[in-house]
Structure 1
Amino acid sequence: MGILQRFSDIMRSNINALLDKAEDPAKLVDQMLLDLRKDLAEVKKETAGVMADATRAKRDLDACDQEIARYDKAARAALQAGNEGDARALLAKKVALQESRESLAKVYDMSEANAKKMREMHDKLVSDINSLETRRSTIKAKVAAAKAQQHMNDITSGGDRARSSMEAFDRMEDKADKMLDQAQAASELNGQNDPQSDLADKYLSGANSPSVDDELAQLKASMGM
């Protein structure tokens, strides 16, 4: 009855511990259900065989009891008929059958006990499978929620990186503006200290404005001098 021990081990396995260790609990549950259904098919087969053994043992025991009752009845009839020798022979057969019955009864008791264990095993396995079927949807829903949350976390992290990049670009742009302002200021300062530029301004400004001699001539003319 090694199968009883093996499936007893399956029943005692800590499903929650397995789920805790699994990287993807939803996939583990699917695999466990697949394995348990295969186990259930084997348990059904074994249970049917053990139950058949118990039925056969019970049938053999009942047949033996019927034979014992038959020979007992025949011995009584022979004794009533005054044939003590026949009665003795019939009783000897009855005693032999009673000895056989002890063995048949032991076989039946063992077969019936095994059948009971297998039926309990079968019913427990069916219950476990039904329980897992119910819990599977809950587990998968939790896994889906966890993945969705992780996806949102990834998106949020991406947004943070984008903001950091924009801030870095802003700082670079500010720095570029500052460099441009400094360059323009330096250019203006350089232009003010350029002697050629000052010389050009001197002659250009003089060409466009009246000279002192012109102003003096106009003043004398107005005074009649």
Structure 2
Amino acid sequence: MAGIISRFKDIMSSNINALLDKAEDPSKMIDQYLRNLESDLGKVKSETASVMAEEKRAKRELDELDEQINKMQKYAEKALIAGNESDAKLFLEKKSQLSQNKQTLQKSYEIAAENASKMKIMHDKLIKDISELNARRDQLKAKLAVAKTQERLNKIGASVNGAKGNLSAFDKMEDKINKKIDEANAMNELNSPKEDNIENLMSKYDYNKTNNSEVDDELQALKNKLGL
């Protein structure tokens, strides 16, 4: 019994949250700690059942002894009433012997009751710890999933920023190419021979003159037709 209590002493005094806060990888620590607790819980259940059975046995023996002591007391009284003092003395002697045994049984029962109480406290603490750790593990794993997603987003963001930098470089190259094309076109225009546009200019006016004369003739014919 002492070995069991010593083994689980750290469980009774442990602060789960403090341990998790100090852990480099809380998720792995919880998984390992839970495996240990689940294994320990089976042992504690078995030991607790055994200690509780011992407590009940000690209590039953103590109750039976009390019953025997009371019985000897009653028989001593009956013997005196019947006038048998010697029989009464024998019953009282037996009662005395039983009373001496009661001290031993009482001590055994008190120890068994204390052990059972400690084991039940340990058992309940284990159940509570396992429940808390299961809930905390789910929370931590959810946070870990969010953290991993954020890491992926950060990497994607860095890639996008790199792509933007490449696009910016392409824009600069395109501007340089367009500038060279514009400069080449301008140079080509400057190097091209100039044509004499006088004749073209003269044909423009000749066309307009002919065109106006035809319109005037048509207008005059229309007036004559209408008697104007």
Say whether the fold is shared (TM-score over 0.5): yes
Return the letter of the residue paired with 1:18: L
Q: Which residue of 1 aligns with 2:132?
A: 131
Match of 1:118 in 2: 119
The question of whether the paired residues in 2 share the 8 Å contact of 1:25 and 1:143 is answered with: no
- Once residues 78 and 25 of structure 1 are traced to their aligned partners in structure 2, the CA distance between those partners, rounded to angstroms, is 76
Code of the residue aligned with 2:116 in structure 1: it is A
Tell me which residue corresponds to 1:89. 90
Matched, 1:36 2:37: yes
Amino acid corresponding to residue 17 of structure 1 in structure 2: A
Alignment partners' CA distance in 2, 1:25 and 1:147: 15
Any unmatched runs of 5+ in structure 1? 182-225
C-alpha displacement of 1:154:
2.1
> Could you state the TM-score of these two structures normalised by the residue count of structure 1?
0.69
Q: Tell me which residue corresponds to 2:9.
A: 8
User: 1 CA distance for matches of 2:163 and 2:15?
Assistant: 46
CA distance, structure 1, for counterparts of residue 16 and residue 158 of structure 2: 35
Structure 1, residues 67-88: CA drift from partner, whole Å, max 9, x if none? Answer: 1111111212222222212211
Aligned to 1:200: none
Equivalent in the alignment of 1:62? 63
Q: Which runs of 5+ in 2 are unaligned?
A: 181-228
Residue type at the aligned position of 1:29: I
TM-score, L = length of structure 2 = 0.68
Count, aligned residues: 181
In structure 2, what is the equivalent of residue 151 of structure 1?
152
Partner Cα distance (2:134, 2:6) in 1: 25
CA distance in 2, matches of 1:51, 1:163: 73
Amino acid at match of 2:91: L
What residue is the counterpart of 2:46 in the other structure?
Answer: 45
Following the alignment from structure 2 to structure 1, what is the Cα–Cα distance between the partners of residues 18 and 164?
42
Post-superposition Cα deviations, 1:14-39, rounded to whole Å, max 9, x if no partner, equal 32233234343223222222211111
Aligned ranges 1:18-33 → 2 under 5 Å: 18-33=19-34
- Residue 40 of structure 2 aligns to which amino acid in structure 1? D
State the alpha-carbon separation in 2 of the partners of residues 15 and 162 from structure 1. 46
RMSD: 2.8
